[in-house]
Structure 1
Amino acid sequence: MVNIRDLDPSASPLDYYGSELRRLREDAGLKQGELGVSVFCTASLIGQIETARKVPTRDFSERVDAALGTGGVFSRLVGLVLRSQLPSWFQPYAEMEAKAAYISTYQAQLVYGLLQTKDYARAVLATGLPGSLDELVAARMERHRILGREHPPMVWVVLDEAALYRPIGGPEVMRNQLAHLLSLREKRWVRIQVLPFAAGEHASLIGSFNTLRFDDDPDLVYTEDLISGHMTANPDTVKEAALRYAHVQAAALSVEDSAALITRVMEERYGHQPGPDGRAVA
């Protein structure tokens, strides 16, 4: 059992969150079980979070803020905690992504992380055989919050048609994922194009890449290899990426035709089909 008095609040966002939860709970004169009743969880979970052995969720943090009257302290802290669960090499990109005014990406294999459903993200992240899958999924979902801000970034995504056909997580997960992509048409700052197989060879056969643009800082280009990710503001690289992205966009279907293709794939490939017993199956 970890003794929370031995924890260093400055060691990590998770340690700081745990120490603050214990301090403010005790200031309120509540035992772990009493706070647990107020936030609909067990005393054990409160203890695990206070000793930095369990990562809190956003829902938990909001309920604790309400129960302790902390004015949103834990709702603000949980973003830092969840971001700290991302791979160390990815955290700098996530920080810059959250500050970007414009995000453009070409994705050769998968749906872009900001547009993934929870089940799709879980299936993707599980391929890395992580020891903390729940935490990684929660961290990825936390990234999505930038799309709901009062002033969200403009996000322009070009998906290779292959991403629509690769059955990540199975038919039901894919159907929900494609439906989610279609629902994003309601957000005027999100645009999705599909690069069809018919385009043949194109300007980014080498793979996926992202470009981040900022109001007051230089553009960044981000790529990944098998092990980690790489960001650069090198002007020549940024210029080359912009040229390649322009060619990829030009070769892709229009936003409207892309939505029609996504709809067709969703219905024909992942729609509910009658099974041998006549019942519908995914």
Structure 2
Amino acid sequence: MTQINTLDPGASPLDYYGYELRRCREAAGLTQRQLGDILGYTSSLVGQIETARKVPTLEFSERVDVALETGGLLSRLAVLVMRSQLPAWFQQVAELEVRAAEICTFQAHMVHGLLQTEGYVRAVLGSLDDTDLDDRTAVRLARQRIFEKEEPPVMWAVISEAALYQKVGGAKVMRGQLLKLLAFEKNPRINIQILPFDAGEHAGLTGSFTLFHFERDPDIVYTEGYGSGHPTANPDTVRGCSLRYDHLQAAALPIRDSAELIRQVMEERYGEQRDSVGHPVA
């Protein structure tokens, strides 16, 4: 068992979080059990987080900040911890999401990670490997906190109609996911357009990509493969993908019509099924 006295706060964001949690708890004169009782968690969980053996959730961090009156310290650290737990090749992309003024993405097969529900995330991440699935799910969902910033980015997402039909996680999960997309309909900073099957051949047939626009820095294009990501600021690549994205937006349905198509698919394909006496069927 890792000894808390040997924890090096400079070893990683997770170690630093554990060090600060212990420091704040002891300053308040509380044991791990007492803090756990206040927060509604076990003393074992508090101890695991203090020894950097467990990734803290944002909910845990927010509760600690309130209980120990830390001024939001643990919540701020939790965001860094979450980002550090992403695959090494994706950490740069998460930083781009944080800094971007505008994010423009085309998704050929699935809903973008910044727009996914918890159930959808779990299904995607657990499709081949369900180890540490709770932590990995929490880490992906934490990226969505960028929309809670004082100046959140504007996001434009063109999503292939195929992604609406791909039954990720089952009908219940997909219904929840499409409901979440519909919830953005009145949000001017998160704009969803569906590229319909009727569009035929289109500028995104070669695959998904994302454009990051910044206030002062050059634009960046990001594409992804299996277990690898490829961000580039090459001007020719950026210009080419920007033109490609313009054509995709032109071929996609307007925002209002896109919402109507999402609603139609949700009801026809993922509508709540009932038995002979009217009870919902899982």
TM-score interval w.r.t. the shorter chain? Answer: over 0.9
Aligned-pair CA distance for 1:130: 4.8
Gaps of at least 5 residues in structure 1 are none
Matches within 5 A, 1:157-176: 157-176=157-176
Aligned-pair CA distance for 1:67: 1.7
Determine the C-alpha separation between the residues in 2 that align with 1:58 and 1:72.
11
Contact 2:83 2:139 in 1 (8 A): yes
Check 1:63–1:14 CA distance in 2 against 1; reply closer, same or farther (3 A cut): same
Provide the secondary structure at the position in 2 that maps to 1:229: strand
Provide the secondary structure at the position in 2 that maps to 1:224: strand
State the match for 1:180 in structure 2.
180
Deviations 1:230-281 (A, max 9, x none): 1000000000100111111111111111111000000000001333665332
Residue 74 of structure 2 corresponds to residue 92 of structure 1: no
Aligned-pair CA distance for 1:118: 0.8
Determine the C-alpha separation between the residues in 2 that align with 1:251 and 1:128.
34
Deviations 1:65-90 (A, max 9, x none): 12222111101101001111111110
Q: Which amino acid aligns with 1:198?
A: D
Q: Which amino acid aligns with 2:72?
A: G
- TM-score, normalised to structure 2, is 0.96
Matches within 5 A, 1:110-259: 110-259=110-259
Gaps of at least 5 residues in structure 2 are none
Aligned-pair CA distance for 1:122: 0.9
Q: Which amino acid aligns with 1:161?
A: E
Provide the secondary structure at the position in 2 that maps to 1:281: coil
Q: Which amino acid aligns with 2:82?
A: L
Determine the C-alpha separation between the residues in 1 that align with 2:117 and 2:19.
32
Provide the secondary structure at the position in 2 that maps to 1:159: strand
Aligned-pair CA distance for 1:158: 0.3
Determine the C-alpha separation between the residues in 2 that align with 1:257 and 1:205.
22
Matches within 5 A, 1:95-106: 95-106=95-106
State the match for 1:35 in structure 2.
35
Provide the secondary structure at the position in 2 that maps to 1:55: coil
What's the Cα RMSD here? 1.3
| Structure 1: 4+ residue segments shifted above 6 A | none
Deviations 1:141-167 (A, max 9, x none): 111111122321110000000000001
Contact 2:185 2:256 in 1 (8 A): no
Q: Which amino acid aligns with 1:71?
A: G
Provide the secondary structure at the position in 2 that maps to 1:280: coil
Aligned length: 282
